[in-house]
Amino acid sequence: MDVVTGTSPSKKARIPKACAACRKSKSATTCTWHVKTRSAVDERLERVEQAIWALNRRLDDQETICRQSREASGPVTDRTGAICNSTTSVDAVGTALDLPAGEESSSALPAILPPNNASFTVQKPARLDVVSSGLITDFDAQIWFNAFFDGCDRFVPIFDPAIDTYSSVRERSSVLFDVLITFGCKAGDGSLANEFRKLYNVVRQHISDITLHDTEASLESVQALLVVANYSESGAILCDIALRESLKLHLPQKVAAYFSSLAAGCRTDQPVNLRDLIPIRVFYGLVLLHQILSLDGGKPASMSLHSIPRRIRILIAQPHRTPIDLRLYAQVELNELRATSYAYVVAAANAGEQSLKDTIDQAQLDMSRWKAEWQALIFDNLTAEDEKTVFTVNLRIQHAWAVIALQLRALTASGVDNLALVTESQRTISLAAKTAAERHLDLILTNTYDLDGSDASHEQTSYIKPYIANIRYGSEFVFAKNAFCVLIVLRLAILLGDPLPAVLHRLQQAQDFLDGLSHAGMGANVGYIRILSQTVKKCQRAVKASQQAQDSSEQALDTGDADFQSFVPHEFTLKWDFPGLNLCYIPLDWQELFLNFEAGD
């Protein structure tokens, strides 16, 4: 037998699975407590697992505590539905974490925990005014403060220049001070100025602070809210916030008490306090803004006066009454008349044309009496000629606006859209609305010498057109109303078939108004000027297209006319509730229609 020799295959070295002590004692083939060598990743994962376990345990304990608290006093939940307390934090995905200060596991997730372990923080208001904070200089602040009282106070008649001085307002309220500076800057430099934009951001923060932090209302906060509401697109919301603040101050009760004391004659022998009329003035300023937003802005009424409108005139005779008070009280009385007449017109429209006509006539008589009586009051209580001129023009413009809105609301209430199909009575109403709108346009272009009857060759001054000279101080409603009135003048002139020279005259007046705004420094700073410019251009195209259609003996509705009739800016439909925007003229040729029927037979 042959024997084959060679090397035997090598064996793989055995790796021991037990420690030296266990192998020596042969008690076990593996070691249960043998610790492997761990990497840094393993150690970090273990720490994370321990932190998660600790968090789950703490969360379970917290839910148990909060459940017991909820059973006793009611639930308090966060946005995830978890029950929280003041030490609960919410991470980026909404998980509730309750980590007390000094917890070791908090180092595992340091990035998601706010410094104070709260779910959110609310910024405390900064009570430094724009001068103290260094945003603007004291020199600029005084210029813009004076600019506000050069004309803005006429459109927000809730201030007394004798009391509301630069130093006094700054000392009493940084919020009111910043608001007056901001809108004085807008009047002086325009809404596109960089300074105004910076200041307006501060004002917006003030409004938020008043809403969030001011548990105790102040008269200055109400004044600030009313100023911002008059110059803001969010006037309706700010007006209601101001109403809430005024209720905290018990302003309605103070007004009622003041009238009661006047009726009882309690103030005849007592020294007059200069500040007695301040709450009265602020309250009626709030009433006026609410009236405008309700009658012309479509805002649901939040308040109403339970007194005869003329009763407010007793405040004119009180000591320390300012000239601006006349403007305020006159407008409040007129708007009360408007509210009553509009309600009667809507009811009379359902009772027949004669009832509607009688209601309109009575309302116009009341408004005409208001204008005549307040003109007399102005001349009896004002001494400066410039003040009389400005007040008289504004009084007549307010009366014309009231008549325009009355007639157009009557047309709307009677269901008129197409002026080609109106009855004779409805056509009379539409003609009266056109006449009032034309009077309104004439008044905003009125020269000083047209009021006092002096020679037309009078040397022109800055007050040659007093309304336009002061319109840059106007509120949001003033610009919207003027733009609408120009639109309705031109549209009714075309819809009611005015002669071409008459239409061209009104078109030229509209262009003059635009030019006057440009000379007054308005330019494109106000969005409603863009509406005016578009109105003039569309009317010009409509007139040109109508002339071409007449020359070619065309009877169909031309493109330019249709474009002008359908021009309804969204500002008038979304921000304001101006009547008459649905009026159109679509002629129906009945003879041609019948001829077509005969041809078909």
Instruction: Give the three-state DSSP class for 10.
Output: coil
> CA separation (Å) from 504 to 44, 530, 541?
85, 20, 12
Structure token pair of residue 328: 């305020």
In 3D space, the residue among 572, 423, 421, 438 whose CA is nearest the CA of residue 492 turns out to be: 438
pLDDT at 30: 54
CB 393 within 8 A of CB 425: no
End-to-end CA distance of the chain: 133
- Who's near 191: CB < 8 A, 6+ residues apart? 525, 526
CB 131 within 8 A of CB 137: yes
Measured CA to CA, the distance from residue 157 to residue 288 in angstroms comes to 9
pLDDT at 14: 58
Measured CA to CA, the distance from residue 9 to residue 584 in angstroms comes to 110
One-letter amino acid for residue 518 of the chain: S
Dihedral sign from CA coordinates of 75, 78, 80, 84:
negative
- Who's near 222: CB < 8 A, 6+ residues apart? 242, 245, 246, 249, 251, 282, 286
One-letter amino acid for residue 380 of the chain: D
One-letter amino acid for residue 324 of the chain: I
Phi-psi label, residue 3: left if phi above 0, alpha if psi -120 to 50, beta otherwise? beta
Q: What is the mean pLDDT of each run of 10 residues along the chain (601 residues)?
A: 47 56 56 56 77 79 68 48 41 37 42 53 74 92 94 92 92 94 90 89 90 82 95 90 93 89 65 70 95 91 81 84 90 94 90 91 95 91 78 92 95 86 90 95 78 44 68 90 94 90 93 84 70 90 78 55 83 88 75 44 42
Residue 479 φ then ψ, to 5°: -70, -40
One-letter amino acid for residue 276 of the chain: D
Instruction: Give the three-state DSSP class for 590.
Output: helix
The β-bridge partners of 584 are: 418
CB atoms within 10 A of CB 466: 22
> CA separation (Å) from 217 to 128, 170, 171, 284, 564?
18, 17, 17, 17, 49
Measured CA to CA, the distance from residue 49 to residue 276 in angstroms comes to 71
One-letter amino acid for residue 329 of the chain: Y
Q: Residue 592 CA to chain centroid, in angstroms?
A: 51
Measured CA to CA, the distance from residue 333 to residue 315 in angstroms comes to 12
pLDDT at 597: 40
In 3D space, the residue among 186, 199, 142 whose CA is nearest the CA of residue 167 turns out to be: 142
In 3D space, the residue among 278, 286, 282, 280 whose CA is nearest the CA of residue 304 turns out to be: 286
Residue 5 φ then ψ, to 5°: -110, 155
Residue position matching structure tokens 């249709």: 562
Spell out the SS3 assignment of 310-332.
HHHHHHHHCCCCCHHHHHHHHHH
One-letter amino acid for residue 596 of the chain: N
In 3D space, the residue among 131, 157, 106 whose CA is nearest the CA of residue 323 turns out to be: 157
- DSSP-derived secondary structure for 177-202: HHHHHHHHHHHHH-TT-HHHHHHHHH
The β-bridge partners of 418 are: 584
- Who's near 52: CB < 8 A, 6+ residues apart? none
pLDDT at 103: 42
The overall longest dimension of the chain from CA atoms, in Å, is: 155
Structure token pair of residue 190: 């325009």
CB 136 within 8 A of CB 180: no
Residue 97 φ then ψ, to 5°: -130, 130
Spell out the SS3 assignment of 101-149.
CCCHHHHHCHHHCCCCCCCCCCCCCCCCCCCCCCCCCHHHHHHHHHHHH
